[in-house]
Structure 1
Amino acid sequence: MAIPVETFFLKPDAQGTLQAQIQQMIAEGILSGRLRRGEKLPSSRKLAAHLGVSRITVTLAYTELQASDYLAVRDRSGYFVSENAPEPLPEPELPAAAEAVDWDMALSRQITSSVVPGRPSDWARYRYPFVYGQADPALFDHAHWRLCAIQALGQKDFTALTTDYYDQDDPELVEFILRHSLPRRGIMARPEEVLVTMGAQNALWLAAQVLLGPGRRAVMENPSYPPLKDTLAQIDCDVTAVDVDAEGLPPAALPEACNVIFTTPSHQCPTSATMPRPRREALLAAARARNALVVEDDYEFEMSFLSPPSPALKSLDGDGRVIYVGSFSKVLFPGLRLGYLVGPEPFIRQARALRANVLRHPPGHIQRTAAYFLRLGHYDAQIKRMSRLLAERRAVMQAALLDHGLTIAGSGTFGGSSFWMKAPEGVDMEQVRQHLQADSVLIESGDRFFTGAQAPRNHYRLAYSSIPSDRIAEGVARIAQAITDASA
């Protein structure tokens, strides 16, 4: 690889001749690791013009560095960092720089984040990865996604690829959402009532920003989706966490005064509880009595392989008070970051304006690629393949959990991709998680899902979406042994 000439500059306060300064500049680049073995240096003519020195000065510097084995010459190709050049020096421990800015005073607020769940970035190399929400190569239709991406790069889609939509979205993706995704959930909507987002988390953030503020109260489930806790904490509003039960959020436990209720009725996060229809109707009645809005996060409804999913809460809404959050990232791959909001036009108008101020719109090429993947039937085919494999893995895991006497605290009525687990009282599952990681087993401790200083420490989540069936039993056995050891 050629090293850009723009990365070279002479220090204005450097000592010595220009030739010595150039030699020192290049030697320091090699010793720091910035210039790597085998990389091509700029020609003497180009570097001389860039530095404003004579070409002979650069040539002499290169020659001296070659004599010291820092550089090597290749016929008709120029100078390269030598394969025998010294190894980069270890970085010295530098003293802390003096700060002229008092950042405690300069920052308007402290931002917290629960996005990183203690999962290593190289999770796929672990033998027993019970990790949630990651793309499994065995489940993803990479070949057809690649073909759709190539198709979206074609001349016919030049506008979708290059246009700044400002505050608008790809009409083909919106049309699919309106004609295929939403009717499956019993929802009918118009284009003006749909906004494409950078995943469900971005949709929740937009909803919270538009609907909440000083003097307003939000209700969230406990336990719940950790990034939602962070989002609400960053808004100057009151937050009440309501404990869920085996049927999800109990309407009778809602505070009398509230403005926005966040809920996951299809697959409660993280317990996987499914809210039955009578409770959904009771929740809508409670929201109506309080003149409150409901934000419904309908994640994982596609993974309903045990029985058909219940209609979405929004499909039962006759008042227009439910704002619906959907996502394609869970079924396709998490890095896609593509979701959508569905709600009354006045709300969507404000959410669209806010999105435009922050990021304009999700990339047009990604939207058009997804539109092709959905429209050509690949999405439905992937759902069927995932449902079959997840059903197989779930059966294997459930049997292993029962064999080892592990307690299932929650499992999806219609399917899903994980089990919500509970260890004996007194067992700290964060400590167990760290112990298991050293044994090539990855789990997710459950304390981060809870709100409050006294969050229980003995819950954990086991996902079966990222681990092959033939490794589940052994992985569960190791988990059971680690919990037994922690209980002793």
Structure 2
Amino acid sequence: MAISIDTFFLDPDSQGTLQAQIQQMIAQGILAGRYGKGEKLPSSRKLAMHLGISRITVTLAYTELLSNDYLTSRGRSGYFVSQNAPEPPKFAPQVKRTEAVDWSRAIGQKFTGGSAPTKPVDWQKYKYPFIYGQVDKTLFDHANWRLCALQALGARDFSALTADYYDQDDHQLIEFILRHTLPRRGIVARPEEVLITVGAQNALWLTAQILLTQRRTAAIEDPCYHALRDVLTQSRCHLSPIPVDRDGIQPDLIEDGTDVIFTTPSHQCPTSATMPHARRKQLLRRARDLEAIIVEDDYEFEVSFLGAPMPALKSLDEDGRVIYVGSFSKSIFPGLRLGYLVGSEEFIREARALRASVLRHPPGHIQRTTAYFLSLGHYDALVRKISKVYQKRREIMENAIQEYGLEIAGSGVFGGSSFWMRAPENVNTVELKHALKRNDVLIETGHPYFAASAGIMNYYRLAYSSISEELIPEGVKRIAHEIDQLTRH
């Protein structure tokens, strides 16, 4: 690979001859690792013209570097970084600068320090990964996704690939959502009431920014999706955690003065509880009495293999007070980062304007590729395949949990991809997580899902989306063994 000529420049404050400056510039580039072994340098003529100096000066500098084994010459091909050149240091090079900014004062609002747990990026190296939200490459339809991506790259879709939509979305993707996805949830909407987002989390952020202020109150489930709590904390609104039971959020506990209610009725996050029809009607009545808005996060409705999913909460809404959040990231693959918002035209207009000011729109090629994947039937086939496999894994995991005496605290009525687990009260699942990791097992601790002041440390989540069925029993056995060890201490 050739080294770009734009990376070479002379420092007007440098001391020494031009030849020495060129030698130092190239040597430092090699020592810093910017120029790799075998990479080609610009010709002496081009570099001389670029720097505005004599060609002989560059030639002499190259010759000196050649004699010191920094460079090598290949006949008429030019000069290259030598294979025998000094190795760059393993540590990061120190940049000499004076830090004159007091960042503790310069930063006006902090976004670090949230409750979101970290997940190992090398999770696939572990034999027993019971972690949530990762793709199983044995299930993903890579061949058809690739064909759809190639189709979206064609001349016919040149505009979809290259155009700046500004604040709009791919019309084919919107049409599929309106005609196929939403009707399956009992929802009827118009194009003006749908907005594509960068995943469900982006949809929740947009919603919080539009609906909440420092004077307004948001009711959230306890436990709840930890990233939602972080988003709402950053909005500086008042937070009101509402305990969930086996049927989800409890409407009669929602306080007077609540402005927005965030809920996950289909698969409560993280307990997987499914809100029954009567509770949904009760929640809608409570929201009407409060004149509150409900934000329904339906992140996992496709994974309903134990029975047909209940209609969405929004399908029961007669007042237009429910904003619906959907996602393709859970059912296609998490790296897709594609979701959508459904709400009143007035709300979507504001969400569209806010999205445009931050990121304009999700990439057109991703939207069009997804539209093809959906409309050609590959998506439905993928969901059926995933549901069949998940059902088998769930049965195996449920049997293993029962065999080894572990306790299920929550599981989805219609399916899902995980179990919400409870360890004995004297077991700290953070310690359990670290002990299991040393034993090739990954789990997800439960404390980030609870309100910050709760201090509940004995819950954890076991997902079966990323682990093959033959490994589940041994993995559960190892978890039971470590819990037993911690209980004894």
90-99 or 468-477: bigger deviation: 90-99
Instruction: Give 1:481's aligned residue.
Output: 481
- Quick check: 1:393 aligned with 2:393? yes
273-282 or 228-237: bigger deviation: 228-237
| Distance across 2 between alignment mates of 1:278 and 1:455 | 32
SS of residue in 2 equivalent to 1:76: helix
Q: Which amino acid aligns with 1:309?
A: P
Unaligned runs of 5+ in 1: none
Cα distance per residue 1:280-321 (max 9 Å; x no partner): 010001111111110000111100011111110001111111
- Quick check: 1:318 aligned with 2:328? no
Q: Percent same amino acid among aligned pairs?
A: 63
Q: Which amino acid aligns with 1:204?
A: L
Cα 1:429/1:303, change in 2 over 3 Å: same
329-338 or 431-440: bigger deviation: 431-440
Instruction: Give 1:69's aligned residue.
Output: 69
Instruction: Give 2:259's aligned residue.
Output: 259
| Distance across 2 between alignment mates of 1:115 and 1:154 | 43
Q: Which amino acid aligns with 1:133?
A: G
- Quick check: 1:454 aligned with 2:454? yes
Instruction: Give 2:24's aligned residue.
Output: 24
Instruction: Give 2:43's aligned residue.
Output: 43
- Quick check: 1:341 aligned with 2:312? no
| Distance across 1 between alignment mates of 2:131 and 2:289 | 40
Is the contact between residue 119 and residue 442 of structure 1 (CA under 8 Å) also seen in structure 2?
Answer: no
SS of residue in 2 equivalent to 1:419: strand
| Distance across 2 between alignment mates of 1:262 and 1:90 | 48
Instruction: Give 2:80's aligned residue.
Output: 80
Cα distance per residue 1:361-406 (max 9 Å; x no partner): 1111111111110000000000001001111111111111111111
Cα 1:326/1:115, change in 2 over 3 Å: farther
Q: TM-score, normalised by structure 1?
A: 0.97
| Distance across 2 between alignment mates of 1:272 and 1:298 | 12
Counterpart mapping for 1:406-485 below 5 A: 406-485=406-485
448-457 or 376-385: bigger deviation: 448-457
Instruction: Give 2:331's aligned residue.
Output: 331
SS of residue in 2 equivalent to 1:269: coil
Residue 64 of structure 1 deviates from its aligned partner by 1.6
Residue 14 of structure 1 deviates from its aligned partner by 2.1
Instruction: Give 2:243's aligned residue.
Output: 243
| Distance across 2 between alignment mates of 1:77 and 1:33 | 23
Instruction: Give 1:191's aligned residue.
Output: 191
SS of residue in 2 equivalent to 1:234: helix
SS of residue in 2 equivalent to 1:139: coil
Residue 440 of structure 1 deviates from its aligned partner by 2.1
Cα 1:92/1:237, change in 2 over 3 Å: closer
Residue 266 of structure 1 deviates from its aligned partner by 0.2
Residue 455 of structure 1 deviates from its aligned partner by 2.4
| Distance across 2 between alignment mates of 1:26 and 1:249 | 64
Counterpart mapping for 1:41-440 below 5 A: 41-91=41-91, 98-112=98-112, 114=114, 117-440=117-440
| Distance across 2 between alignment mates of 1:439 and 1:53 | 63
Runs of 4+ in 1 over 4 A off after TM superposition: 92-98, 113-116
| Distance across 2 between alignment mates of 1:236 and 1:185 | 33
| Distance across 2 between alignment mates of 1:333 and 1:214 | 35
138-147 or 15-24: bigger deviation: 15-24
Residue 195 of structure 1 deviates from its aligned partner by 0.8
296-305 or 109-118: bigger deviation: 109-118
SS of residue in 1 equivalent to 2:323: strand
| Distance across 2 between alignment mates of 1:96 and 1:440 | 43
Residue 98 of structure 1 deviates from its aligned partner by 4.4
SS of residue in 2 equivalent to 1:244: strand
Cα 1:14/1:96, change in 2 over 3 Å: closer
Q: Which amino acid aligns with 1:69?
A: D
| Distance across 2 between alignment mates of 1:238 and 1:331 | 33
Count of matched residue pairs = 488
